[in-house]
Homo-oligomer: A and B are copies of this chain.
């Protein structure tokens, strides 16, 4: 997953982009980058790691101009290397262009092979680069047309920002897989237009949320103002439902629904669908979230079930990437660095652990054991989404099917693997209903272009749970040429 941010028409564009990326940091911690334009030239800085580690005040001062786009990168597709960091920026015949992409192209390899066969040279292993080459090779004259031309040749998921010397362009693919929002920011000299993956980025810089971009919409910001066009054939809207389950920040609203309230609602429905039966002797039952992502669902679960909510797992604020693993084994070591059991609310209790999802199952298994070792009488696991059975082709970094425990095991087998007393998942229907029936407090974003009536189950992309993929991954006819160039930092 990744996050994107763009601003047009602000005297401190680089500073605003830095802050916007900071607010989107949960969408990607591997690398961060900002490209600005002063109307004549583009200026780029990219760095591995967190935004605040990679950008010094001096770095920001070297990014002049009143327009900027930025990117935080999560995925390791293409390898963890600075040259895969975004925004991707190049100089080509018509000038310079930079782009920041959240999503994943499903026909990347075919397009790349076609371009290479005619002599194009690729700098990175990222799918994003094909878009740049398509733009460079386009015979259209205006930047807007060149971008439309390029995007009409790629398939899959893209919420994407472009920056040229003069224009900023934002586009969302026709299915609207990944979120993208529009805002405005008043400042002393006028009004800036802002685009971001989630509205939380607007909140930090004091910008006002205007609306989500519609699927298939392209917005062009230039010195003449902003325009909206719909250059692609319309498709049924299928925004990613997993953003609500896990990815987005709880204080964000996406498509008019509060992520926090959706999650609480998931917890409530989960308590109804998958209750933990309580006898008279079991009054000592507690609901414990896996922090921080499980907290809202646990609040909802506790309220619906009547069991008390307790912080039974304490999350460390100081967890980073690399640790020294001692040679002598320490029980639950990996998970314990991040989460400590709070013995006082666990010992002798029936514990209901609420988490948002299970991927491989190994972390959940360690948590169950750790809770049991801390004295829990029973450990019941409740998951506020359906079993994750399919990989994502649209930008979330899930492992292959064979690594997804729900793809290879029954629920009962999974329960056994976790060594839990019971295991319950939310149903897909429950998930879709919770998302559809939750409102936010922001002004409505309904666009006239959005179909009024849609089968609820087809209103979102839930391929990771259902295997129902809106766009197929293109099958390859020829075996792919592996990259043969390894460049050190």
Within the complex, the shortest CB–CB distance from A136 to chain B, in Å, comes to 5
Note all chain B residues with C-beta closer than 8 A to A479: none
Q: Nearest B residue to A205 by beta-carbon distance?
A: B330
Q: Nearest B residue to A37 by beta-carbon distance?
A: B484
CA distance A342 to B206 in the complex (A): 15
Note all chain B residues with C-beta closer than 8 A to A203: 336, 340-341
A204 touching B340, Cβ below 8 Å: yes
Note all chain B residues with C-beta closer than 8 A to A258: 342-344
Does A232 reach chain B (CB closer than 8 Å)? no
CA distance A60 to B315 in the complex (A): 25
Does A403 reach chain B (CB closer than 8 Å)? no
Does A331 reach chain B (CB closer than 8 Å)? yes
A15 touching B260, Cβ below 8 Å: no
Does A417 reach chain B (CB closer than 8 Å)? no
A344 touching B121, Cβ below 8 Å: no
For A, the interface residue count at a CB cutoff of 8 angstroms equals: 107
Interface string of A293-308 (1 = CB under 8 A from B): 0011001000100001
Does A231 reach chain B (CB closer than 8 Å)? no
Considering the complex, which residues of chain A in the window 14-45 have a beta carbon less than 8 Å from any beta carbon of chain B? 15-16, 18-19, 22-23, 25-26, 29, 40-45
Considering the complex, which residues of chain A in the window 49-93 have a beta carbon less than 8 Å from any beta carbon of chain B? 50-53, 55, 57, 59-60, 62, 89-93
Within the complex, the shortest CB–CB distance from A321 to chain B, in Å, comes to 8
Note all chain B residues with C-beta closer than 8 A to A303: 308
Q: For the A-B complex with A52-B320, A344-B441 known, give 7 more contacts whose Cβ atoms are closer than 8 Å.
A: A19-B330, A25-B317, A41-B486, A53-B320, A118-B119, A119-B137, A251-B342
Q: Which 6 A-B pairs have the closest CB atoms?
A: A119-B137, A258-B344, A93-B116, A96-B484, A45-B488, A25-B318
